[in-house]
Chain A
């Protein structure tokens, strides 16, 4: 894979920008980019944003929603920060989609440094990295919210996955409201700090969404085809695991206690079920897999 530094930087002046972007206030004087500038990329765009710190739940939400959006041809726009942003870019690429990253720094200033590989990968897979800052300008506290107006402005809708009450994604959402975009938020548990922001948004005018279909309906899409998932045949013991996990995600010890079976036996069941994708494990906790349908 070619290193991102080897890609030429191009630029687009205000008059050359897609029409809808020229309405963004304050106006974009000049936009620098790396990658393939392709007007098609901007036809169906959705912004997927969220906090830098991502919980298991946030990760799962991105993994559930983004592939569905990509499959009906949406370009995913996000802010290239770690957490939900990075995840959204990655999941999009993994599903074979294209994505646009709007940086809060110049194109030569890698922020955050952990995303070095992602930068190159994005370019290699026909996606785009843009920034309105001079190539060597460093990210400042205020450049991130400033670029958020572009993230919102490019998109038909803004999807907020997760975020605290003071999170930057709320700024993007507010800008989305101002720009008369559809602002959608994924609800979360009321005791989770990372869902306080999204729940607040829902109270204050954002649309609650919980599936790809609902998002597409909000964006005015025709009913999309629903992915056909495979039914799994489960033994009685496996059925019990699924029943317990359906209510709540659990650690192995908790699960063993809830099912009243010993750990070695449960371990065998869980290995088997993980291999079939019925359950998934994250940080020691088990939950039902994405592909599992009852």
Chain B
């Protein structure tokens, strides 16, 4: 007897509808075969499904069973086909009967018949919505991911037993309540607050400007000065995710299995801090079956590269294109996959290999030659994408009196950031860029006209500090953002004067 149920495969972030055909032949030697380009994980589904069904108390047919995953030319991988195969066998066996409506089945089955957390459920729900499929059956632990997609009935399945009882109308599974993404996002709290970082007023101000204008930042300072803490606080001062952004991020996290069991919509801006030994593919994305890398996981959030000087040159070079385009294309012989990667880059580095150059209390133990080499590694084209450069000195915390420490929390800073971003949205509504940080020379000329004395100041600075043409324009961009934070239409003297503090300079 031939049965058909529906499920999903994905290539990168692209979901594809899959038809799972199960044929239980009345003749032939007992066997269990899967065709349709299954990988090892799919192939092994045989054992899981067989054992799970037997342990659920179902009579497993000792007949020739053939499973076809159509379209047969797309490689299938992962364990999500366990459930549709099991359902197909149950149907063929006559254990359950389905009405004609189209449903998606998706999920990994354990040997005891329980359903496990499976990645990609959010993608399934989106596909269902797109194709007009009204109902999806997914593992209970993953069901929350799907609950934010409106118009789709999500049935959280806890085990094969409850699935059987559902279709036998003995005990119905209750559909999950649809949740409004917007409210979920508003409820989310900042997980690391600005006020927790003591001192570092200049660095905080730099991050505020960066957040307001979407500029990338380089922080230089000795170990223990709070670079990582500052970076962690960054997502909290960025505007809240919009619902659309949250869905984009959730999609990436769902596919890569980065949503923990029971988790739902990603409500906070991502913060990713890959180690400097991360491979190029791990960072950019790739693989024979391309998967998103760290930069895509940082989409709409913050990518923090600590020990910036330790990253291999090739890895940093690979970051350039995504920084420019806001997405990354992974090209393979089999085809090109695009992953979104619109993130803010925060890089941090020590001033020298030992880290204590210019430290108040500790002496730097590096040889001068080592320092020169170390700083050379930090230069190069990637630095051209970083507008703001800030020193993060060591702070003797016990010396700070409470009354002089600025205790502004993330929400207060965020309000100013949001205001500045509104101004930019208005400004760039007919342009291809979104924020000041993304402005090209053309837009800089169009939108950042300097007042007379501001221009004179910048010219003076260019001579005195020997600014390159690139840094010259970077300072204008940062000035524009400072002006926006102040709500000023034009870029004035004071804005440029402050922006000069964040120019990229030589250390050492």
Q: B-contacting residues of A (Cβ < 8 Å)?
A: 52-54, 56, 82-83, 112-114, 193, 251-253, 256-257, 260, 262-264, 267-272, 274-275, 283-285
**Which A residues touch B221, using CB under 8 A?**
284
**Which B residues touch A270, using CB under 8 A?**
501
The residue of chain B having its C-beta at the shortest distance from the C-beta of A281 within the complex is B505
Per-residue CB proximity of B187-214 to A under 8 Å, as 1/0? 0000000000001111011000000000
B202-A263 in contact (CB<8A): yes
A253-B393 in contact (CB<8A): yes
CB distance from B123 to the nearest CB of A (A): 45
Docked pose: A280 CA to B460 CA in angstroms: 15
Q: A-contacting residues of B (Cβ < 8 Å)?
A: 199-202, 204-205, 220-221, 351, 357-358, 363-364, 367-369, 372, 391, 393, 395, 400, 404, 457, 460-461, 464, 482, 494, 496-498, 500-501, 507-508
**Which A residues touch B497, using CB under 8 A?**
267-269, 271-272
| Interchain residue pairs with CB less than 8 A apart (17) | A53-B368, A54-B368, A113-B369, A251-B391, A253-B393, A257-B404, A262-B201, A263-B202, A264-B205, A264-B498, A267-B500, A267-B501, A271-B461, A271-B496, A271-B500, A284-B221, A284-B358
**Which B residues touch A112, using CB under 8 A?**
368-369
Docked pose: A83 CA to B369 CA in angstroms: 10
Docked pose: A272 CA to B464 CA in angstroms: 11
Docked pose: A30 CA to B15 CA in angstroms: 82
Docked pose: A41 CA to B494 CA in angstroms: 50
How many A-B pairs fall under 8 Å by CB? Answer: 83
Docked pose: A193 CA to B199 CA in angstroms: 28
A267-B404 in contact (CB<8A): no
Docked pose: A284 CA to B351 CA in angstroms: 11
A82-B368 in contact (CB<8A): yes
CB distance from A223 to the nearest CB of B (A): 33
B202-A267 in contact (CB<8A): yes
Docked pose: A193 CA to B457 CA in angstroms: 40
B202-A252 in contact (CB<8A): yes
The residue of chain A having its C-beta at the shortest distance from the C-beta of B463 within the complex is A275
A83-B393 in contact (CB<8A): no
Add 5 more A-B contacts to A275-B457, A275-B464, A283-B508 (CB < 8 A).
A53-B368, A268-B494, A270-B501, A271-B461, A283-B358
CB distance from A73 to the nearest CB of B (A): 29
Docked pose: A284 CA to B461 CA in angstroms: 18
A283-B351 in contact (CB<8A): yes
**Which B residues touch A52, using CB under 8 A?**
367-368
**Which B residues touch A252, using CB under 8 A?**
201-202, 391, 501
**Which A residues touch B494, using CB under 8 A?**
268
Docked pose: A262 CA to B122 CA in angstroms: 46
**Which B residues touch A56, using CB under 8 A?**
358
**Which B residues touch A275, using CB under 8 A?**
457, 460-461, 464
CB distance from B357 to the nearest CB of A (A): 7
A284-B391 in contact (CB<8A): yes
B202-A253 in contact (CB<8A): yes
Docked pose: A259 CA to B404 CA in angstroms: 11
Of A83, A193, A253, A271, the contact of B363 (CB 8 Å cutoff): A193
CB distance from A135 to the nearest CB of B (A): 23
Contacts A275-B461, A283-B351, A284-B391 given; indicate if A263 touches B201 (C-beta within 8 A).
yes
**Which A residues touch B351, using CB under 8 A?**
283
CB distance from B401 to the nearest CB of A (A): 9
CB distance from B379 to the nearest CB of A (A): 15
Of B357, B363, B496, B498, the contact of A283 (CB 8 Å cutoff): B357
**Which B residues touch A272, using CB under 8 A?**
457, 497
A271-B391 in contact (CB<8A): no
CB distance from B376 to the nearest CB of A (A): 10
**Which A residues touch B508, using CB under 8 A?**
283
Docked pose: A272 CA to B357 CA in angstroms: 27
**Which B residues touch A274, using CB under 8 A?**
464, 500
**Which B residues touch A268, using CB under 8 A?**
494, 497-498
CB distance from A251 to the nearest CB of B (A): 5
Docked pose: A260 CA to B201 CA in angstroms: 12
Docked pose: A110 CA to B70 CA in angstroms: 69
The residue of chain A having its C-beta at the shortest distance from the C-beta of B205 within the complex is A263
